[in-house]
A and B are shown apart, each in its own frame.
Chain A
Amino acid sequence: TQLLEQSPQFLSIQEGENLTVYCNSSSVFSSLQWYRQEPGEGPVLLVTVVTGGEVKKLKRLTFQFGDARKDSSLHITAAQTGDTGLYLCAGVGYNQGGKLIFGQGTELSVKP
């Protein structure tokens, strides 16, 4: 069974601070996605990374896929209160028929 471990599980910071969320596995993934989920809503896709070592930027968010395609990170610069939410990483394994496996999520709270 392929597992994705996210850390930290909870993160509470002040507005303006930087933060990094990690997503790790012992398995190799063909692609990895990051989602953000607000209370009462379904997850919304932020980015998909597919190449080992790939870095993608989305405004203040920087996503990196590990060289070995087993891990990923999400870095947020100068966090804002609007960044509050549950951040989920999800990976597509090889020979899994496109099945998306989710990590347990990182609950981020950005305080004013």
Chain B
Amino acid sequence: EAGVVQSPRYKIIEKKQPVAFWCNPISGHNTLYWYRQNLGQGPELLIRYENEEAVDDSQLPKDRFSAERLKGVDSTLKIQPAELGDSAVYLCASSKPGQGRNTIYFGEGSWLTVV
């Protein structure tokens, strides 16, 4: 079974430019997460979806970040405009309720460098 798929793996952009990340969760996983991980730190939740509904976006900087999960499957995370401090790894993860307690499967991440 395919894991969580993210693209692009790496992205280098100039500040003030837009960037978008895409995530395809594991088939059948109706919960989808976007995390941000700074170098040497643990992941921090940006937004969590239950199907197509964003149930927790309290940590999403809404002035420049947006996310969507059309049809409750794939998701995109957008940053516009990007700032230097946005350089980080953006991790997508998914889980299936009932499959153990909050067993979350992570993708390999999208590594963003803003210059």
Q: A interface vs B, CB < 8 Å?
A: 4, 6, 9, 30-31, 33, 40-45, 48, 50, 88, 90, 92, 97-105, 107
Q: How far is the CA of A31 from the CA of B100 in the complex (A)?
A: 11
User: Chain A: which residue is nearest B6 at the CB level?
Assistant: A42
Q: Which of B42, B45, B93, B105 contacts A88 (CB 8 A)?
A: B42
Q: How far is the CA of A92 from the CA of B33 in the complex (A)?
A: 14
Q: Tell me how far the C-beta of A28 lies from the nearest C-beta in chain B, rounded to whole angstroms.
A: 15
Please determine whether B102 and A100 come into contact, CB atoms closer than 8 angstroms. yes
User: Chain A: which residue is nearest B104 at the CB level?
Assistant: A100
Q: How far is the CA of A43 from the CA of B108 in the complex (A)?
A: 8
Q: B interface vs A, CB < 8 Å?
A: 4, 31, 40-45, 48, 55-56, 91, 93, 100-109, 111
Q: Which of B43, B48, B101, B105 contacts A102 (CB 8 A)?
A: B43
Please determine whether A42 and B106 come into contact, CB atoms closer than 8 angstroms. yes
Q: Which of A30, A40, A43 contacts B106 (CB 8 A)?
A: A43
In the complex with contacts A41-B109, A42-B106, A105-B101 CB distance below 8 A: no
Q: How far is the CA of A96 from the CA of B55 in the complex (A)?
A: 11
B residues near A33, Cβ cutoff 8 Å: 102
- Across chains A and B, which 8 residue pairs bring their CB atoms closest together, nearest first? A42-B106, A102-B42, A31-B101, A105-B42, A104-B42, A43-B106, A42-B108, A102-B43
Please determine whether B102 and A31 come into contact, CB atoms closer than 8 angstroms. yes
Please determine whether A44 and B40 come into contact, CB atoms closer than 8 angstroms. no
Q: How far is the CA of A107 from the CA of B41 in the complex (A)?
A: 10
